[in-house]
Structure 1
Amino acid sequence: MRILTVGAGAVGGFFGARLDQAGHDVSFLVRPARAAALRARGLRVEGQGESLSLTPGLVTAEAPGTGYDLVLLSVKSTALEAALSDLAPAVGPGTAVVPLLNGMAHLDVLVERFGAEAVLGGVAKVVTTLNDHGDILRMAPPAVIQTGELDGRPSARVDAVRAALTGAGIDSPATDDVVGAMWHKWVFIATLISLTCLMRGSVGEVNAVAGGPELGPALLAEAAAVAAAAGHPLPEAERAFTEGVLTAPGSPLTPSLYRDLVAGRPTEGDHVLTDLTVRARAAGVATPLLDLAALHLRVHEHRLAARRG
């Protein structure tokens, strides 16, 4: 399968490396700074028993190539608009575009840009980060991509994508409701972001103090209510799993958005949290805690914008 991975960061780089090692024709569409680092050092993945090192095939916005069967779109929402312009020439009549972003707003943008026939739903579950050298560190076992047609119908192209993923050691469970799966991932990540960003600490640090263990479930209840109002109620097993993650004593877990926040970098707050609270208001669902977390991130973004002048 001929695959274009848009972005070679902690998520796209990991999945792209796995697919490359499995024998697929993988190219990475990257910005100049990342391209220079990858040419100098290669693409490396370490941790959890992983040890991959490859010389990646790199393409640029000026010449992204054509004839791709699959595009894995793995960029932060803050880079989405630029990424769509860069990859547009690479999306042909037979190309399937699978976004691996959190939230839902990007789906409308993709469908408007490339047409509903090109876009699949996508959910990524992987715990990776970049170290100071730009290498990818895998910090926990999950390596999952769920995908499917937006209307839930079975299709040969979904089967082909899933076969490529599973053949590369990437779990790709079948789903007849990938949009629902995207909502459920959104509930998880929005709750985790709100918990850690509001309290400026890891899950374990929040739960180590009085009142901490009650905050995660309260945030989860709000986010789950929004999903239910949108027609995608959270299954009880997922609710129990998420609550367990949020209340785990001693857990060092923090999401990448939290790490961006404490490092003083721009975040995906609007895409992940503000959009969720806007949908909550439209559905008449009260989300005072999520509203507070979204406001917290908007203040951070305002401060960064003021510094940029």
Structure 2
Amino acid sequence: MAIERAAIIGRGAVGLLYGSLIERSLGPDAIEFVMDDTRFERHVGEVVTVNGEPCRTRTIPAREAEPVDLVILATKAPGLPLALETAARLVGPRTVIASLLNGVTSEERVAEVFGWERTVLSVAQGMDAVFIGGALTFTHPGEIRFGAAEGTAPGVVEAVADFYGRAGIPHVVEADIRRRMWVKLMLNVGINQTCMAYGGTYGTASEPGSEQNRCFVAAMREALAVARAEGVDVTEADLAQMADLIASLEPDGMPSMAQDRINEKPTEVEEFAGTIIARAERHGILVPTNRWLYARIRELEAAYGA
């Protein structure tokens, strides 16, 4: 199968970044953003920019959507239930679905609705995209790492890799994508939550000896312990690599949850600390940093608009 047309649900930082790459490489007929009808009406006429240029990728309401070859889910975790409803208009007999949501649970929810045979496991990492006030800026596009689940149909991963290649999206096909997803979860548990809780940036979280850096590393180390208890071989070398990755990014940049704090939007704390706490309890593991982060982030969310 060849993938020629894709649709992205989620016009935030990740969706805009990869949508702009697809449009630039394959043209406007290859990609569209799809919003549920209510959200579309709320955002109609809104000007969105990518690195200072107006976004050229069209956005349509779900009522006008037709099946495409590839659906890319790029919402935040709280938006997944509505995204799956919207995706129903886009999924035909041969449609493939890739979820770029953070965490390790979204593909399970996708497969419950659409089946594992059309679902690939994915993580997006390494980008420095910042989306505030309708303006996306980035210098590093990062990469999508993906692979087959146990039930993914033959040829699906190869078709997605071919499309990403033609679309100019940096990507890696992983033989053990579940391990890669846990490494990304470990990173998000550390960097996203620390920057949200402290109002920090990549630079402040990477400053050696700082309180933010200690929180960043401690939260990751707790996630590492939970991953290993879950049977996933995440290592201290992975942790060090993720810390080095963050230190290499633009110091003034910030992850999505820090942007949520500025934009006063619901965060993905349930996917991060919530997942670590729940699974730590199964294995009798202490995760005090993640418990503190969970409580602090919920406190900040409750104060939105105050």
Task: Single out whichever of 26-35 and 273-282 deviates more from structure 2.
Answer: 26-35
Q: 1:215 corresponds to which letter in structure 2?
A: C
> Which residue among 25, 28, 31 is the counterpart of 2:33?
28
Alignment of 1:125-136 (within 5 A): 125=125, 126-132=127-133, 134-136=134-136
Q: 1:29 corresponds to which letter in structure 2?
A: V
Task: Single out whichever of 88-97 and 294-303 deviates more from structure 2.
Answer: 294-303
Deviation at 1:167, TM superposition (A): 2.0
1:160-214 per-residue CA deviation (whole Å, 9 max, x = no partner) reads 2111112222111121122221111110011112322343433443537655544
Distance verdict in 2 for CA 1:45–1:154, change over 3 Å: same
* Partner residue in 2 for 1:11: 14
Q: Quote the Cα distance in structure 2 between the aligned partners of 1:287 and 1:276.
A: 8
Distance verdict in 2 for CA 1:46–1:250, change over 3 Å: closer
Q: Quote the Cα distance in structure 2 between the aligned partners of 1:250 and 1:167.
A: 28
Matched residue SS, 2:66? coil
Aligned: 1:45 with 2:46: no
* Partner residue in 1 for 2:156: 157
Cα-Cα RMSD? 2.7
Q: Quote the Cα distance in structure 2 between the aligned partners of 1:63 and 1:214.
A: 49
Q: Quote the Cα distance in structure 2 between the aligned partners of 1:35 and 1:234.
A: 44
* Partner residue in 1 for 2:61: 60
Matched residue SS, 1:151? coil
Say how many residue pairs are matched: 295
Aligned: 1:145 with 2:144: yes
Distance verdict in 2 for CA 1:299–1:212, change over 3 Å: closer
1:222-272 per-residue CA deviation (whole Å, 9 max, x = no partner) reads 111111112222245422222335678993343210221244332121122
* Partner residue in 2 for 1:265: 265
Q: 2:251 corresponds to which letter in structure 1?
A: S
* Partner residue in 1 for 2:114: 114
Q: Quote the Cα distance in structure 1 between the aligned partners of 2:192 and 2:282.
A: 22
CA contact (8 A) 2:190 2:215 kept: no
Deviation at 1:76, TM superposition (A): 0.9
CA contact (8 A) 1:217 1:246 kept: no
* Partner residue in 2 for 1:98: 98
Q: Quote the Cα distance in structure 1 between the aligned partners of 2:299 and 2:275.
A: 16
Deviation at 1:93, TM superposition (A): 1.8
Alignment of 1:161-240 (within 5 A): 161-205=160-204, 207=207, 211-240=211-240
Q: Quote the Cα distance in structure 1 between the aligned partners of 2:123 and 2:246.
A: 20
Structure number with the bigger relative contact order (C-alpha 8 A, sep ≥ 6) is 2
CA contact (8 A) 1:152 1:178 kept: no
Deviation at 1:65, TM superposition (A): 1.1
Distance verdict in 2 for CA 1:162–1:35, change over 3 Å: farther
Q: After the TM superposition, which segments of 4 or more aligned residues of structure 1 sit over 4 Å from their partners?
A: 208-213, 245-250
Q: Quote the Cα distance in structure 2 between the aligned partners of 1:249 and 1:124.
A: 15
Alignment TM-score, normalising by the size of structure 1: 0.84
1:111-144 per-residue CA deviation (whole Å, 9 max, x = no partner) reads 1111111211111122212243x23211x42431
Deviation at 1:154, TM superposition (A): 8.5
